[in-house]
Amino acid sequence: MSKRLGWFLAAGLLVAALLAGVVSSFASGSPDGLDYAARQGCTFDADDEITGGTCMLQQEGDHQTAGSPLADYGIRGIDNEYLSTGLSGVLGVLITFGIGGGIFWLVRRRGTVASD
């Protein structure tokens, strides 16, 4: 790998980690499009609990990874919401970069062996 490519990848990883760690704290807590559509037809109280009506949200349940350490855009055990969200974003970037880099390394290595 050339020195220039290494610097480019390092800079890209740094920018992605900074964006994931800092900008994720400013994400809206308001329902997104799917959540908004799922709430249609129900009424809610001040604690956001369903008080009446019929909507898709009444069928909602926990997903399979609800108990995992990185569930719900945070890290379980860290009480500071901003820190938890930021760290989970950075960890997600690092994991994604590691998996992607590993796949590219395997494909590249396999391609050079086959061409010899």
Encode pLDDT of 9-29 as tens digits: 999 999 999 999 998 878 777
| The pLDDT of residue 15 | 95
Encode pLDDT of 48-71 as tens digits: 889 999 999 888 888 788 888 888
What percent of the chain lies above the pLDDT cut of 90? 44
Q: For 61-87, give the secondary structure using H, E and C.
A: CCCCCCCCCCHHHCCCCCCCHHHHHHH
Q: Is the pLDDT of residue 111 over 60?
A: yes
Q: Is the pLDDT of residue 114 over 60?
A: no
How many whole angstroms separate alpha carbon 26 and alpha carbon 20? 10
| The pLDDT of residue 90 | 93
Q: Is the pLDDT of residue 112 over 70?
A: no
| The pLDDT of residue 93 | 94
The tokens for 43 are 């009424």
Q: How confident is the model at residue 100 (pLDDT cuts 50, 70, 90)?
A: very high
| CA dihedral sign of residues 9, 15, 21, 25 | negative
